[in-house]
Structure 1
Amino acid sequence: MICDELQGELDALQRDGLKRIRRTLELPCGPLARVDGRSLISFCSNDYLGLANDPALVAAACAGARNWGVGSGASHLVSGHLGPHAVLEEQLATFTGFDRCLLFSTGYMANLGIVPALVGRGDAVFADRLNHASLIDAVQLSRADSQRYPHADLAALERLLAASTARRRLILTDAVFSMDGDLAPLPGLLMLAERYDAWLVVDDAHGFGVLGAQGRGSISHFGLPANPRLICMGTLGKAAGAAGAFVAANATVIEWLAQRARSYVFTTAGSPLIACALATSLELIAAGDARRAHLRQLVAQLRDGLADTRWRLLASPTAIQPVIVGDNHATVRLAAALYERGLWVPAIRPPTVPNGTARLRVSLSAAHGEAQVAELVSALRELACA
């Protein structure tokens, strides 16, 4: 049968502890979840500021639906660029400090649009080895020469740049690495981009809204000045609590992407009600210092609580707190033991992370309370002794 080979490969995933399970939630996104009638504390989502079910965003979305309907009806360049889209792009440009912004349907689509629009055959992309899958796929689509440097290794990157004879060069990196929680050395990367006449494309999916002054993101966190070489992608479905993504850059780059980024040109524009909700989200992010301070306190609470156990946490200052286990099956068992205690923490395994580094990925949110984090710490301490 035509599906027998696929079934065999699915069986192999199950045997190797790599098969993923999709669960259906019976409550809105938040720190409390219900799955199959079971109540859980969730440490799974990227809703870092707790905005996904915020009443102000819900009200803005409802008002947006009444005023603008549900669908946009077409791509941005045909007739789908509605008033709320234009307003949001202007607000994002002002908030991030760039000349212009361009909205995309998802962060994945934004990355697939940026790289192939800027480089192609005869060009070179220099990518961090731990970049997100969307960046890896974007490089493959571009057909540019792909050169991967060891994670955050500026010296290795400089050697590659110095040896390159490519027509155009593009440095590509996550800002906050989604499975490790650490930050890219953005000041050093920008310095190399200037020295070797390259673009620096930064995926700030997990930094926007959380890091920097008023949550302006990783570029603000490092105090980097405006620079025509710098291109930032930020997602709007994580800390911003809704959906979509944006690319921020100088006006010339944004206009080029609007003309040549295929995942922008050839897809229907996002819902206008989401753009209305995001306008409110930006206001809450800008006024969200208390949320960010609470989130930092929860990070410290978790790390301090597990410091003297056998669990090894990576050196992450962000809301992403990976607990390295190593073996795939052991990681799945640990996640299952927590689940039985009413704590939902995802088991992350290859190919999402390198072989031998399977882990729990604890995602903290400003919506979590100290008592909920204390419950997770207590359970992990107990399981550390099992």
Structure 2
Amino acid sequence: MSVLDAWQQRLDDARTDRQRQHRWRTRQALARDTLDFAGNDYLGLAHDPRVSEAQAEGARRFGAGAGASHLVSGHLDVHDALEEALASWTGRQRALLFSTGYMANIGVLQALADSHTAIFQDRLNHASLLDGATLSGARSRRYHHRNMNDLENLLKRSDSVHKLVISDGVFSMDGHIADIGALVTVSQRHNAWLMIDDAHGVGILGDEGSGCVGSTWRSDDVPVLVGTLGKALGTAGAFVAGDAALIDHLIQFSRSYIYTTAQPPAIANATLKALEIVQQEPEHRAHLNANIAYFRHEALHLGLSLSDSSTPIQPLILADESRTLRWAAQLREQGIHVGAIRPPTVPKGEARLRITLSARHQHEDIDRLLAALHDCQQQESL
């Protein structure tokens, strides 16, 4: 077998194995009239004309792209303004922009941790946090989901001087909210820093939508706070917020910050407008919360096995991968898009439809989804 044939065989084997397990991923090019219950545009700001106009105005003023990394010539005054606004919003001294949330998490962990560091992560943390810990070379342990006793036991057995506890703020596949107070208490008891990735919390939780950490918990309590801009804020990119020493360290040592082109300035300008809307118009969060309550009430009335979540992430656990794909396909036939989440994204036996709600949805949209889900139930009973 030639080298090319060997590589082709490897790709074919991987494809066959994943398809056999009903885990092969496919992209869906959504039609304009598709009803989206899969995305993370929780406040509908990605479609707000004021945000779109701010992006267009930013492109006219600054150009389409930054043209270089932040440390070369790509850092503009609009980036400075956004970082200052994010720091103020989250009650931190400083904030630092990254091009994506994945790059932020990898960059933070690579800059902070090494082989002498002990990292302790919730088992259901986002893949970017798990990958960041692996790339850092740190000794990494994973505690049972939201189980502070397990975390405490792991910390007790660690003799590392530098310990870092990491958790999602809102868990992206389950919608659970981390107990920040308990994490702060346990981390401080064992002289560990605490890092929270609040990607799915910023914009929708806390005072002025500042998240499950936000200004409630100080930098002394949560030294490393990560948030994304491409979910509730409706744009793209991410940020890390903390004290000045942390941000200065990341600027010097975070490779995913140093060696990549800066966020397009038009996106930064749009994000400033989105942030203004989030802070000044709480009615968007109120409408979202009303949608969540309505959906949960009606879904539970239908006997749907929802996860215990008070956030826009409402997982419907179906367990079996093929069943999950079948329900998603039936919904798609009715013009409704819902994420079909299977292992390895979630544990084996926990395949699900990841239903996400938005302030853009009206009750008639939710009723249409519920009717389609009821049809799926009825067809299984035939």
Same fold flag (TM > 0.5): yes
Report matched runs for 1:113-124 at 5 Å: 113-124=107-118
Counterpart of 1:112 in 2: which secondary structure? helix
- On the 8 A contact 2:199/2:227 being kept in 1, the answer is yes
The CA distance in 1 between the partners of 2:111 and 2:299, in whole Å, is 45
* TM-score when normalising by structure 2: 0.95
Corresponding residue of 1:267: 260
Corresponding residue of 1:16: 21
The CA distance in 2 between the partners of 1:114 and 1:306, in whole Å, is 39
The CA distance in 2 between the partners of 1:383 and 1:24, in whole Å, is 23
Counterpart of 1:218 in 2: which secondary structure? coil
Query: Counterpart of 2:72 in structure 1: which amino acid?
Result: V
Counterpart of 2:109 in 1: which secondary structure? helix
Encode CA deviations 1:132-163: one digit per residue, 9 max, x unaligned: 00000000011111010000000110111111
Report matched runs for 1:260-299 at 5 Å: 260-299=253-292
Report matched runs for 1:155-234 at 5 Å: 155-220=149-214, 223-227=216-220, 229-234=222-227
Report matched runs for 1:36-115 at 5 Å: 39-115=33-109
Corresponding residue of 1:324: 317
Q: Does the alignment pair 1:6 with 2:46?
A: no
Q: CA deviation at 1:289?
A: 1.2
Report matched runs for 1:110-149 at 5 Å: 110-149=104-143
For the aligned residue pairs, the C-alpha RMSD in angstroms reads 1.3
Q: CA deviation at 1:77?
A: 1.3
Instruction: Give the 4+ runs in structure 1 shifted more than 6 A.
Output: none
Q: CA deviation at 1:226?
A: 4.1
Q: Aligned residue pairs: how many?
A: 374
Among 352, 357, 378, the alignment partner of 1:385 is 378
Counterpart of 2:68 in 1: which secondary structure? coil
The CA distance in 2 between the partners of 1:129 and 1:374, in whole Å, is 34
Query: Counterpart of 1:301 in structure 2: which amino acid?
Result: Y
Q: CA deviation at 1:218?
A: 1.0
Corresponding residue of 1:28: none
Corresponding residue of 1:245: 238
The CA distance in 2 between the partners of 1:6 and 1:311, in whole Å, is 38
Query: Counterpart of 1:330 in structure 2: which amino acid?
Result: R
The CA distance in 1 between the partners of 2:70 and 2:304, in whole Å, is 48
Identify if the C-alpha distance between structure 1 residues 56 and 311 changes in structure 2 by more than 3 Å, giving closer, same or farther. Answer: same
Q: CA deviation at 1:351?
A: 0.4
- On the 8 A contact 1:309/1:384 being kept in 2, the answer is no
Encode CA deviations 1:289-346: one digit per residue, 9 max, x unaligned: 1111111111111111121334211100000000000000001001111111221111
Q: CA deviation at 1:175?
A: 0.3
Counterpart of 1:17 in 2: which secondary structure? coil
Structure 1 residue ranges without an equivalent (≥5): 26-32
The CA distance in 2 between the partners of 1:18 and 1:212, in whole Å, is 36
Counterpart of 2:10 in 1: which secondary structure? helix
- Select between 335-344 and 306-315 the one with higher mean Cα deviation: 306-315
The CA distance in 2 between the partners of 1:66 and 1:345, in whole Å, is 36
Query: Counterpart of 2:19 in structure 1: which amino acid?
Result: Q
- On the 8 A contact 1:228/1:250 being kept in 2, the answer is no
Encode CA deviations 1:255-292: one digit per residue, 9 max, x unaligned: 11111111101111111111111111110111231111
Query: Counterpart of 1:340 in structure 2: which amino acid?
Result: E
Q: Does the alignment pair 1:304 with 2:297?
A: yes
Counterpart of 2:23 in 1: which secondary structure? coil
The CA distance in 1 between the partners of 2:172 and 2:229, in whole Å, is 15
Query: Counterpart of 1:99 in structure 2: which amino acid?
Result: Q
The CA distance in 2 between the partners of 1:359 and 1:288, in whole Å, is 33
- On the 8 A contact 2:197/2:227 being kept in 1, the answer is yes
The CA distance in 1 between the partners of 2:64 and 2:161, in whole Å, is 44
The CA distance in 2 between the partners of 1:157 and 1:13, in whole Å, is 33
